[in-house]
Structure 1
């Protein structure tokens, strides 16, 4: 995806964990959105979960946070494993299970972890992938929220 492109429709989930949301609901909320791609077989994803949860909790009233489980291999398709990891890592935000890579393809995403920050109108404002970089992600989230660095 390119900067300023519109958020793809959140369709094609194999399953949703913690409730389903639509693109329209996210935009109608009037809040920016962080969409976080992860996989059960990704070590960097597991390390980043506390940071993502911190964003979710700290900006609860100002930011929508959505997770997308993107399988990287056949082993990543087992729903019981996905559910167990979501529960074990305190993933309470809506989670799109993308076992058929429909949303992954719509985002043209190739990485986990990957972070997409959309403004309140649903336009992409920031993308980053890989471990670390949480300071930059925080800076970009603060920018779309119109707040100073916390």
Structure 2
């Protein structure tokens, strides 16, 4: 995806947690979408930090987790549920076993992080284990822009 591209649709996949968010429901405040997989250790190491972001920016930032399977075991919903419970993931979670959302984002990696502004335009993309640290400053900037603090 190119910077300033509109957020692809989140329709069509199964929502494990959340109410089946649509793009219309997400506009009005920044949105952080992360792709992860239960077979990805780097992804699991980042889940606590994402929970911290959810606490830090509660009410100011939408956070959506997209589970993108990489192995046959990853498509088993009970395996996803176990990791979600263990890491106390509170954000909405969509299971993308058919790669509907993954393909719309043209995403190929986990972990991958997408940050959209309050108009639904891509402001930053990062992949890999260190991607979350890099994104934290970008999230702060986009949230502050939304709140008129910049």
State the TM-score bracket (shorter-chain normalisation): over 0.9
The number of equivalent residue pairs is 145
How far apart are residue 43 of structure 1 and its match? 0.5
CA RMSD, Structure 1 to Structure 2 (Å): 1.2
Cross-structure match for 1:5? 5
Contact 1:3 1:126 in 2 (8 A): yes
Contact 2:113 2:127 in 1 (8 A): yes
CA shift digits 1:87-135 (9 cap, x unpaired):
1111111101000001000000011011000000000000000102333
Gaps of 5+ in 2: none
**In structure 2, how many angstroms separate the alpha carbons of the residues matched to 1:136 and 1:45?**
15
* TM-score (norm: length of structure 1): 0.93
Q: Per the alignment, in what secondary structure is the counterpart of residue 50 of structure 1?
A: helix
Cross-structure match for 1:135? 133
**In structure 2, how many angstroms separate the alpha carbons of the residues matched to 1:31 and 1:135?**
21
Gaps of 5+ in 1: none
Cross-structure match for 1:18? 17
**In structure 2, how many angstroms separate the alpha carbons of the residues matched to 1:32 and 1:60?**
11
